[in-house]
Amino acid sequence: MKLVSRPFLAFLADPLGSKPRSLRLNQDGLAATGPTQTDIGFGIISARPTVQSGLFSSSLSLALSDGSHLLLPAVRSTAAQVFSDATEMAWMQFNVEQLSKEEQSITSLLDAIGNLKTPAQYPSACHVDPFARQAGELTRRVLSKLNAAAVGDDTIDRVAPIVAFAENPQATRDTAINAFVDQQLERWQEFFDTVESMPLTPEQRLSVVVDEDATLVLAGAGSGKTSVITAKAAYLIKAKIRQPDELLLLAFAKDAATEMSERIEARCGVPIAARTFHALAYEIIGEVEGEKPPLAPTATDDKAFLSLIKDILRDIVSRLADVAQTVIGWFAGFFDDFPSPWDYQSAHAWYSEIESRNLRSLKGETVKSFEELLIANWLYRNGIAYEYEPTYEHKLKGTGRRAYTPDFRLTESGVYLEHFGVRKKRLRDGAEELTTAPFVDRDEYLEGMEWKRQVHADHETVLIETYSWEREEGRLLDALAEKLQPHVTLRPIPDVEIYDQVTQVGVVDSFTSLIATFLRHFKNGGCAFGDCSDKATNLKLGKRAEAFLKIFEAVHREYQSRLGDRIDFEDMVIRATAHVESGRYDSPFRHILVDEFQDISTGRARLIKALKDQHTDAKIFAVGDDWQSIYRFAGSDIHIMRNFGNEFGGVYAGASGVHRSVDLGRTFRSVDKIALAARRFVLCNPAQIKKIVVPAGEADQPAIRIAWTRRDTAESVMAGTLAALSSALPSSDRKPSVLLLGRYRFLEPNLRSLRKRHPELSINFKTIHASKGLEADHVIILGADNAKMGFPSMIVDDPLLSLVSPEAEPFANAEERRVMYVAMTRARHTVTIMASEARPSTFVTELMKEPEYGVSSPQEAAERTHTCQQCEGRLLYMPDNEGPGWYRCEHVKLCGNRMPACPACGTGLPIREAAQSEMTCSDCGAAQQSCSTCSDGWLVERRGRFGPFLGCVRFPDCSGKAKVTKSQSGKLTA
Handedness of CA 33, 36, 38, 44 (dihedral sign): negative
Contact 691, 663 (CB under 8 A): yes
Q: Residue 805, annotated ligand binder?
A: no
**310-328: string of b/e by CB count within 10 Å (b at 16+)?**
bebbbbbbeebeebbbbbb
Contact 314, 331 (CB under 8 A): no
**353-369: string of b/e by CB count within 10 Å (b at 16+)?**
ebbbbbbbbbbeeebbb
Q: Residue 269, annotated ligand binder?
A: no
Pairing between β-strand 619-624 and β-strand 704-709 as defined by DSSP bridges = unpaired
Residue 419, CA distances (Å) to 372, 406, 451, 597, 860 in order: 7, 9, 14, 52, 41
- CA atoms lying within 13 Å on the CB side of residue 497: 9
Q: How many helices (H) and strands (E) does the chain have?
A: 33, 39
Neighbours of 791 (CB within 10 A): 29
Give the span between the Cα atoms of 943 and 935, in whole angstroms. Answer: 23
Strand partners, 40: 30
Q: Residue 530, annotated ligand binder?
A: no
Residue 341, CA distances (Å) to 121, 346, 422, 435 in order: 67, 9, 10, 12
Give the span between the Cα atoms of 121 and 138, in whole angstroms. Answer: 25
Q: Residue 222, annotated ligand binder?
A: yes
Pairing between β-strand 939-944 and β-strand 947-952 as defined by DSSP bridges = antiparallel
Percent composition of the chain: helix, strand, coil (DSSP 3-state, to 5): 45, 20, 35
Q: Residue 223, annotated ligand binder?
A: yes
Contact 831, 855 (CB under 8 A): no
Give the span between the Cα atoms of 625 and 597, in whole angstroms. Answer: 7
Give the span between the Cα atoms of 635 and 654, in whole angstroms. Answer: 34
Contacts of residue 182, defined as CB under 8 A and 6 or more positions apart, other chains included, come to none
Give the span between the Cα atoms of 465 and 253, in whole angstroms. Answer: 58
> Which of 612-618's residues contact partners 24+ apart within 8 Å by CB, and which partners?
612/648, 614/580, 614/583, 614/586, 614/587, 615/587, 615/589, 615/590, 616/126, 617/124, 617/126, 617/127, 617/590, 618/587, 618/589, 618/590, 618/591, 618/592
Rounded CA Rg of the chain: 39
- Element of type H or E holding 179: helix 169-187
Alpha helix locations (H) across 269-398?
A: 277-289, 302-319, 321-332, 347-357, 370-381
Q: Residue 226, annotated ligand binder?
A: yes
Alpha helix locations (H) across 885-965?
A: none
What is the rounded end-to-end Cα distance, in angstroms, of the chain? Answer: 124
Burial class of residue 873, CB neighbours in 10 A (0-12, 13-18, 19+) = buried
Contacts of residue 787, defined as CB under 8 A and 6 or more positions apart, other chains included, come to 355, 356, 358, 794, 839
- CA atoms lying within 13 Å on the CB side of residue 237: 19
Neighbours of 390 (CB within 10 A): 15
Give the span between the Cα atoms of 379 and 483, in whole angstroms. Answer: 13
Alpha helix locations (H) across 437-528?
A: 442-458, 468-472, 476-484, 495-504, 507-524
The pair phi, psi for residue 203, each rounded to 5°, is: -70, -40
For residue 389, the 8-state DSSP code is: S
Annotated binding residues: 219-226
Annotated binding residues for ATP: 219-226
